[in-house]
Amino acid sequence: MNSPRTTLYRDKANAKFMGVCSGIAEYTGVDAFWVRMGAVALTIFALGPIAILAYIAAGVILNKKPPHLYRDDAEQKYWQGVRQSPKRTAREIRANFRDIDRRLAAVETHYVSNNPRLTAEIERLR
């Protein structure tokens, strides 16, 4: 089941017409201007009425974006990364956890090596 943060929505807050292009822009992380320019170019040069019907269908089918979907811009960028490349995002998270674990081990070593009473207590517990 998809998370609400990985679903395509119409973005009525940044909409010009129905919010489809701004929703696609938010979903992909591309600037809304370029998505709109692509939609206009597709309509004029390629598909014409089919593109207009597809846009209207997407405007009717897609749900509106919930008002408080993300806490801040950093969370929005994170979820855009998840949608674009879930494996890369998982690798980055694992790397962050390995770094935290390494730093925690360094802190632990520092305090244990400088505190003989704590070292003796840890050895007694083993």
> What is residue 65's DSSP assignment?
P
Cα–Cα nearest to 64, from 26, 91, 100 = 26
* Range list of H helices, the chain: 20-28, 32-41, 49-61, 73-84, 86-113, 116-125
> What are the domain boundaries of the chain?
1-84, 85-126
Region 92-108: what's the mean pLDDT? Answer: 89
Pairwise pLDDT comparison (46 vs 2), residue with the higher score: 46
For position 98, what pLDDT does the model report?
Answer: 93
Find out whether 112 and 120 touch, Cβ atoms under 8 Å.
no
Q: What is the mean pLDDT of the chain?
A: 81
What is the rounded distance in angstroms from the CA atom of residue 96 to the CA atom of residue 90? Answer: 10
User: How would residue 97 be classed by pLDDT, with cut points 50, 70 and 90?
Assistant: very high
Cα–Cα nearest to 12, from 2, 26, 1 = 26
For position 10, what pLDDT does the model report?
Answer: 80
- Residue-wise pLDDT for 51-79, tens only, equals 888 888 888 888 887 777 777 878 777 77
For position 100, what pLDDT does the model report?
Answer: 94
Q: CA dist 119 to 48, 50, 108, Å?
A: 75, 74, 11
- Residue-wise pLDDT for 13-37, tens only, equals 777 788 888 888 888 878 889 988 9
For position 1, what pLDDT does the model report?
Answer: 42
- Residue-wise pLDDT for 32-49, tens only, equals 899 889 888 888 887 778
